Amino acid sequence: MTVVTHLLDPATGTPPCGPPVLDPATGWTVTRHADVRAALLDPACHVPVARPGPPGTLAWLRGTVSRFSPPATHPTRRAAGAAMLAALDPDELREAAARRTGEALDRAGDRLDVMAVLARRVPLRVLAARLGLADLDAAVPAVTTVAAAYHPGADPATVRRADRAVAALLELTPPDPPEVRANRIGLLVQAGDATAGLIGAATRHVLAWPADVPTGALLAEVLRLDPPVRGTRRVTTGPVRLGGRDLAPGSAVLLRFDAANRDPAVFAEPDRLLPGRPGAALTFGTGPRGCPGERHALALATGVVDVLRRRCRPVPAPVRHEPHALLRVPTRLEVCPR
């Protein structure tokens, strides 16, 4: 296998690694690999719980999915999503994503916007079809609308649009119990931005790599160095000792995956993209709250990127990202089909 190292653009806003830092206004920020991993595994570091809302609204969805559930209800809700994923074959997802990508390139002209045509559409269409949604043309934009408001901080107009999109998605899902339907939609929403961001980052960084370097190895490094999900939040429910610091009960904690993934104590030459390197990135989390759809997301992204590597070359241009504190998703990335 040809071994090449590429130095990526360091201007990503990733903080340096160091001991946990307290900002009196916002709480603790954790950046070292060992500290982030310890917090993910600490039962006293809880995911902030979403309050339930009226049935069929965004607040209801957030209050019912496993992602924002309290410890008492999380295992059951997570099991509902895991059962849906267990019925899906990652290899079949990869093949379907590759097939749809090839079809889109066949229809493309001299240039194609990867984000609009592929990254934000192909994975969601493939996954939504296999999760039983009735109308893919309606489901994909509705999922995108919900994703824009899924995390706290969305403006009221965005939330109202998301409320309507949640109601529309419920009309498209199989007639399961409400908790199952919510977690079916949650799987799609969580896959949307994250998978699109991974495909976008891969388009930026790996299209020119030699064909003998496996796409899976390249995606693992892209997830480490330019992760689509840059961090996650926790709140302490008891005293926590982390990285030599004492965190009081009720402390807000921001775990920075992007910084931990560049920790020089774990990754030699941390700012270089080097496929096959040792060490485990934390982008998908770990422990009881780790992402249950890691294999499926990687399969979908691999299907798209495999075809892009064979059939396209990148178009050099400045890259802008959507405004979000913890997601890194390019707004537009053009390629030239060949």
The domains of the chain are located at 6-337
Report pLDDT for 6.
42
Structure tokens at 96: 């379907």
Report pLDDT for 11.
55
Report pLDDT for 3.
38
Report pLDDT for 13.
80
Query: Which stretches of the chain drop beneath a pLDDT of 50?
Result: 1-10
Burial of 23 (0-12, 13-18, 19+ CB in 10 A): exposed
Report pLDDT for 152.
79
Domain 6-337: CATH architecture, name and number where available: Orthogonal Bundle (1.10)
Cα distance from N-terminal residue to C-terminal residue, the chain: 25
Q: Which residues pair with 233 in a beta bridge?
A: 254
Average pLDDT taken over every residue of the chain: 93
Report pLDDT for 7.
44
Phi, psi of 8 (to 5 degrees): -90, 160
Report pLDDT for 154.
83
Report pLDDT for 12.
65
Residues 119-136 have pLDDT tens digits of: 999 999 999 999 999 999
Distance CA 145, CA 244 (A): 41
pTM exceeds cut of 0.95: no
Report pLDDT for 269.
94
Q: Helix, strand, or coil here: 111?
A: coil
Residues 13-67 have pLDDT tens digits of: 889 999 999 999 999 999 999 999 999 999 999 999 998 899 999 999 999 999 9
Report pLDDT for 153.
79
Structure tokens at 304: 């798209």
Query: Contact at 8 Å (CB) between 63 and 51?
Result: yes
Distance CA 88, CA 86 (A): 5
- 249, 240, 262: which is closest to 40 by C-alpha? 240
